[in-house]
């Protein structure tokens, strides 16, 4: 089992460009999450999907959109990238929405110039 | 606003020494998780504590959940260079926007 996979590993964007970060899990988990990690600020929840077909905003959703494509895949889209979105992005999954034991992907390091 | 405060922020010690890091809050959590994150990788779950006063051991790592379920500690005995990393605690949030709250972490460095 690969667990949680993310693509790409690294990305550089210019201000105003758009891109989609991909995430997939093979653990048959129901819930999936997107976080950003900035120095000294820990992990902050952007969006999550409690189950296939549902998505909810987290703590810092502005500037992002998500799609729960199917049970396995949860993508994060930046429609018009800004330098403030420079960060490391992590996707995670849990067995269900009441489990707090998260399994993380390896991350995507995004730089917006 | 729920917060999880971790201390110390940074810790550098010699191999073989013991250490304790802390995760504190004014809020009550139904459970707390501890993760370790190595450079360039995602956090990896170490343990979940659920019951007030609970103690769990993972080889040389001992995790304790406070009696009031507001705080937790991680004690490492005889630290080794392989213990180096960022240690994060996390707890369940009370709102849908703050579903899971993470502390900002303790960055641990073990010198050979």
Find, among B69, B42, B39, B43, the residue nearest to B54 by Cα.
Answer: B69
Nearest to B40 by CA among A8, A108, A103, A2: A108
Contact A42/B102 with Cβ under 8 angstroms? Answer: yes
Distance from CA of B112 to the nearest CA of A (A): 26
Option in A40, A59, A104 nearest B42 (CB): A104
B42 and A58: CB-CB below 8 Å? Answer: no
B40 vs A15, residue with greater confidence: A15
Are residues A37 and A30 in contact, defined by beta-carbon separation less than 8 angstroms?
Answer: no
- Non-local (6+) Cβ contacts of B52 within 8 A are B65, B66, B67, B68, B69
Mean pLDDT of chain A: 94
pLDDT higher than threshold 70 for residue A44:
yes
The mean pLDDT of A96-104, rounded to a whole number, is 86
Contact residues for A77 (Cβ-Cβ < 8 A; gap 6+): A18, A19, A20, A21, A64, A65, A66, A67
Least CB–CB distance from B102: residue in A43, A57, A105: A43
Separation in Å, CA B34 to CA A104, B6, B21, B74: 13, 11, 11, 8
- Mean pLDDT is lowest, of A63-67, A86-90, B44-48, B93-97, for B93-97
Residue B1: its pLDDT value, please? 65
pLDDT for A98 beyond 90: no
Chain B residue closest in CA terms to A38: B104
The pLDDT of A51-80, averaged and rounded, is 95
**Measured between CA atoms, how close is A79 to chain B, in angstroms?**
21
Q: What is the model's pLDDT at position B84?
A: 96
Interface test with B, best of A2, A24, A42 (most B CBs within 10 A): A42
Low-confidence ranges of chain B (pLDDT < 50): none
CA distance A41 to chain B (A): 5
């Amino acid at each position: 089992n690969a667990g949680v996979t993310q693509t790409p590993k690294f990305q550089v964007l210019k201000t105003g460009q758009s891109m989609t970060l991909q995430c997939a899990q093979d653990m048959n988990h129901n819930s999936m999450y997107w976080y950003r990690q900035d120095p000294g600020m820990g992990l902050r929840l952007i969006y999550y999907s409690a189950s296939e077909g549902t998505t909810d905003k987290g703590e810092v959703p502005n500037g992002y959109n998500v799609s729960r494509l199917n049970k396995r895949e949860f993508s994060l889209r930046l429609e018009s990238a800004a330098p403030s979105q420079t960060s490391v992005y992590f996707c995670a999954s849990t067995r269900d929405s009441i489990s707090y034991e998260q399994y993380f992907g390896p991350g995507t390091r995004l730089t917006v110039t | 606003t729920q917060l999880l405060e971790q201390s110390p922020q940074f810790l550098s010690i010699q191999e073989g020494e013991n250490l304790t890091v802390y995760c504190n809050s004014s809020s009550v959590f139904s459970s707390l998780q501890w993760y370790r994150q190595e450079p360039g990788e995602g956090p990896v779950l170490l343990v979940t504590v659920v019951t007030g006063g609970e103690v769990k051991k993972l080889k040389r790592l001992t995790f304790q959940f406070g009696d009031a379920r507001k705080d937790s500690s991680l004690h490492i005995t005889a630290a080794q260079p392989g213990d180096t990393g960022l240690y994060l605690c996390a707890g369940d949030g009370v709102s849908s926007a703050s579903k899971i709250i993470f502390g900002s972490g303790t960055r641990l460095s073990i010198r050979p």
